[in-house]
Amino acid sequence: MASTSSRPAAVSLDADALTRYLDGSYGDIRREVREILARPEHAPVEAGISTAAYRELVLERMRSLAADGKTGIGFPASVGGMDDVGGAVAAFETLGHGDLSLMVKCGVQFGLWGGAVLHLGTEEHHRAYLPDTITGALPGCFAMTESGHGSDVQSLATTATYDPDTEEFVVNTPDDDARKDYIGNAATHGRIAAVFAQLVVGGESHGVHALVVPLRDEHGATLPGIRIEDCGEKLGLNGVDNGRIWFEEVRVPRTALLNRYADVSPDGTYSSDIENANRRFFTMLGTLVQGRVCVGGAGAAAAKNALTIAVRHGLRRRQFGPEGGLSEALLLDYRTHQRRLLPRLARSYALNFAQSELLEEFHRVFTDVGSDAETAERDRRRLETFAAGVKALSTWHATDTIQTCREACGGLGYLAENRFAALKADTDVFTTFEGDNTVLLQLVAKSLLTDYKDQFEVLDAPGMVRFVADQTIDTIVEKSLARQLVGAIADVIPGIDDTPRDVREREYQIELMRWREEHIIGSVARRLKRGMDAGMGPFEVFGACQDHVVAAAHAHVERVVLEAFARAVDACSDTALKVTLDRLCDLYALSAIEADRGWFLEHGRMSAQRSKRITREVNALCAELREEAGPLVDAFGIPDAVIAAPIAT
């Protein structure tokens, strides 16, 4: 068994109080959704269900959520909603504890299709489509991705050409590469779609815009000019009907254009308040942020289910033990077992608080009416960066944690009844949908390198490289360089480790992470500039630093998450909870630093002695938190009926 620290464990942790603290501002909504998921009609779907039956069941469950009034939260009161965008995301995230096909189906229907109508359309579109969208009576699709273009949305090849004679748009799929692919709700249920296409007016292309295009009649028959193919079985999420769509000269009225940011007059004059085409594109794309906030939150929720199961199993299952002992040792008494589960438990807490801050910021930005345009736009950029970063870390965390928890439950974890089968399969795509994580981290890095400048939204990778190269390095990495200098001096004073700072000191942990982030950003900027100075093309320069760029973003997000956790610890007024949260925060920070200790050592920011000290401290924190591991997963507040794993309930 791992040695225990001399620090006392909190004797009795109040799991309910901790649940309330984790739930944050949207506690009521989260609790209501958890209670709904615990009802028998949301019981786990049997493992052998046919795909056809699963899809119908999910549609039915989605409509039952609508009947409960939980699907209109984020929509305007004028169309039957509750005008609470933050609450809508909180409800959606909480669905991540339950059947994930249901969650994704809801995401497609209310977030993507409903969100496109809401954010890209105007009053008339809202009135026409949103009431039936909210009830689920009108299943809709978000037809953006094409077979040839996933991440690179700006290169979509579907066209919508304006015909002034009939005042219609003609929507067309030029080739198989341009078919809409992987579209949720398309294979079976979708009646209508927001279709993203290159808008061509008077022979001129104005870039990607969205139009509403009907797909099927009320009997489910495909409309003329529409061809739909089923994507077939997937690794998971088989309750969602993904399909491919081809448009053959499909005509829709002029008013089908979702015209909040751009319009076409009857005579064929294109107009937009946003003159720059790139900027317009990114403004429209900005509405995707909600999807990213939701997926990150749902992935984090699913990881909590896995941790609940594995920790409870580790507190029941015995194996081997001391000679002459009364019983064998509990799995969670073994250090390797603690090491597998407890740092991930700490990271779940960290991401919980970061996600809460993200959600509050999301709500603020999306309901902000008082700020000037420039501030509002800058806020949106920051929000997009924040959301992209947290989405990437949360979904990777989900994949990693669910896998580790499965392994920690051995063969029992491999039985479908213990839920890891569905958890693994259904969450697996989270790392690559709503933005591939690696691509998202590159977006984060671009924001950091350009300091969220207005130019950001018009910058693709080469544009960003040119932008950075045009700056004096000082402008970008001023702070960074200053800090490095301080760091370097502090580290070369002989005997610095003789009077070491406590590795559990929060400010020390944050400083380490901030130093790393700024150092990497600074050196990426210098490499970009050097590459351009050496005459390489911007695409090549970016490519040569790509792994470095991703590392910069990763370091940034880890620091942002730590600061969010630190604020949550500081703000906690319950002394007992605070002690525990403080330890969890230490474990999150120190295990993250330990995982990247190669970097800190390489850059002279940490001595070997200090590095080994951190490893010992992670072990000690695991031993301390092992005593509270049960209540710490209870505090996730997931009802037994939702956990639904015989080994954990």
* Residue 478 CB, nearest approach to its own copies (Å): 24
Residues 6+ apart with CB under 8 A from 541: 465, 527, 528, 531, 532
Structure-block tokens of residue 504: 């559990």
**Interaction of residue 205 with its own copies, rule CB under 8 A:** no
Residue list 362-381, contact with its own copies (CB under 8 A): none
Among residues 231, 121, 138, 143, which one has the least CA distance to residue 191? 138
Q: What's the longest Cα–Cα distance across the chain?
A: 92
What is the enclosing helix (H) or strand (E) of 468? Answer: helix 461-470
Among 76, 225, 321, 631, binds its own copies (CB under 8 A): 321
Rank residues 256 and 549 by Cβ distance to its own copies and give the closer one. Answer: 549
Residue list 594-613, contact with its own copies (CB under 8 A): 594, 596-598, 601-604, 608, 611-612
Residue pair 408/340 in contact (Cβ under 8 Å)? The answer is yes
Which pairing describes strands 168-172 and 159-163: parallel, antiparallel, or unpaired?
antiparallel
Which region, judged by CB under 8 A, interacts with its own copies, from 86-94, 351-359, 444-452, 532-540? 532-540
**Interaction of residue 135 with its own copies, rule CB under 8 A:** no
Among residues 6, 24, 20, 58, which one has the least CA distance to residue 422? 58
Give the x/- contact pattern for its own copies in 461-480, rule: CB under 8 A.
xx------------------
* Residue 580 CB, nearest approach to its own copies (Å): 23
**Interaction of residue 151 with its own copies, rule CB under 8 A:** yes
Residue list 249-308, contact with its own copies (CB under 8 A): none
Residue pair 354/388 in contact (Cβ under 8 Å)? The answer is no
Residue list 51-80, contact with its own copies (CB under 8 A): 51
Rank residues 95 and 441 by Cβ distance to its own copies and give the closer one. Answer: 441
**Interaction of residue 514 with its own copies, rule CB under 8 A:** no
* Residue 459 CB, nearest approach to its own copies (Å): 13
Among 165, 204, 218, 233, binds its own copies (CB under 8 A): 233
Among 40, 203, 266, 325, binds its own copies (CB under 8 A): 325
Among residues 241, 240, 237, 218, which one has the least CA distance to residue 228? 241
* Residue 614 CB, nearest approach to its own copies (Å): 10
Among 35, 123, 249, 328, binds its own copies (CB under 8 A): 328
Q: State how far the Cα of 319 lies from the Cα of 78, in Å rounded to an integer.
A: 60
Task: Map 104-164 to HEC letters.
Answer: HHHHHHHHHHHHHHHHHCCHHHHHHHHHHHHHCCCCEEEECCECCECCCHHHCCCEEEEEC
**Interaction of residue 203 with its own copies, rule CB under 8 A:** no
* Residue 573 CB, nearest approach to its own copies (Å): 36
φ/ψ (deg, to 5) at 606: -145, 140
Q: State how far the Cα of 417 lies from the Cα of 405, in Å rounded to an integer.
A: 15
Residue list 37-56, contact with its own copies (CB under 8 A): 47-48, 50-51
Give the x/- contact pattern for its own copies in 168-187, rule: CB under 8 A.
-------------xx-----
- Per-residue DSSP letters for 183-233? ETTTTTT--EEEEEEEEEETTEEEEEEEEEEE-B-TTSPBPTTEEEEE---
- SS3 state of residue 243: strand
Residue list 394-453, contact with its own copies (CB under 8 A): 399, 403, 406-407, 410-411, 413-417, 420-421, 424-425, 428-429, 431-433, 436-438
Residue list 152-171, contact with its own copies (CB under 8 A): 152, 155
Residue list 484-503, contact with its own copies (CB under 8 A): none
Structure-block tokens of residue 152: 């690179």
* Residue 94 CB, nearest approach to its own copies (Å): 24
Which region, judged by CB under 8 A, interacts with its own copies, from 90-98, 261-269, 370-378, 533-541? 533-541
* Residue 464 CB, nearest approach to its own copies (Å): 13
* Residue 334 CB, nearest approach to its own copies (Å): 6
- Give CA 409 to chain center in angstroms: 27
- Per-residue DSSP letters for 74-112? TS-GGGT----HHHHHHHHHHHTTS-HHHHHHHIIIIII
**Interaction of residue 323 with its own copies, rule CB under 8 A:** yes
